[in-house]
Homo-oligomer: A and B are copies of this chain.
């Protein structure tokens, strides 16, 4: 089973997430003779700023701010499409939003656990789930080609036993 669920919900050095993602992206681009242009890299970086999926227009806002010039939607959507094709990011259909893939290149099922409270999304790839979906498809004579699996609920942080509610040190939702 592949998952980044622990990482997503715990304090961690998020800079390493970003760096790792960028390294993987460079490698994958080289491998596929594709170019990780500045725009594409910026979008990927923005999607890795947090473990929460971002919408295209959020990306547009942020990229416009960063660059100082107005970036039009097509630019964003082109970068998104490029990153999607390489498997570097995923689209979360129920949210119309996009998120970095923690294990691009590996064949996996992209199942997401999306927190309705904080909006974080952890990705899980679970062989037995894949197998079961495959066998359910087989039974129905359905030729499985792709999937979109999204679970909604509360992440450990948001559901957790609200500890230290009375202490001065309340839960620290900060990232990292």
Q: A28-36, A63-71, A142-150, A168-176: which one contacts chain B?
A: A142-150
Tally of this chain's copies: 2
One of B6, B113, B116, B160 near A137 (C-beta < 8 A): B113
Q: How near does chain B come to A57, taking the closest CB pair, in angstroms?
A: 17
List the 8 closest A-B pairs by CB distance, nearest first: A141-B156, A143-B154, A145-B153, A93-B93, A93-B94, A146-B152, A5-B140, A143-B159
Q: Which of A101-140 contact B (CB under 8 A)?
A: 111, 113, 115-116, 122, 124, 126, 128-129, 132-133, 136-137, 140
One of B126, B137, B141, B151 near A146 (C-beta < 8 A): B151
Q: How near does chain B come to A94, taking the closest CB pair, in angstroms?
A: 4
* Residue pair B148, A148 in contact (C-beta under 8 Å): yes
* Residue pair A142, B155 in contact (C-beta under 8 Å): yes
One of B6, B140, B141, B150 near A93 (C-beta < 8 A): B150
Q: Name the B residues within 8 Å of A42 (CB-CB).
A: none
Interface residue tally of chain A, by bracket?
A: 35 or more
Question: CA–CA, A62 to B151, complex, Å?
Answer: 33
Question: CA–CA, A122 to B136, complex, Å?
Answer: 12
Q: Is A3 an interface residue (CB 8 A)?
A: yes
Q: Name the B residues within 8 Å of A113 (CB-CB).
A: 137, 140, 142
One of B149, B155, B159 near A149 (C-beta < 8 A): B149
Q: Name the B residues within 8 Å of A150 (CB-CB).
A: 93, 147-149
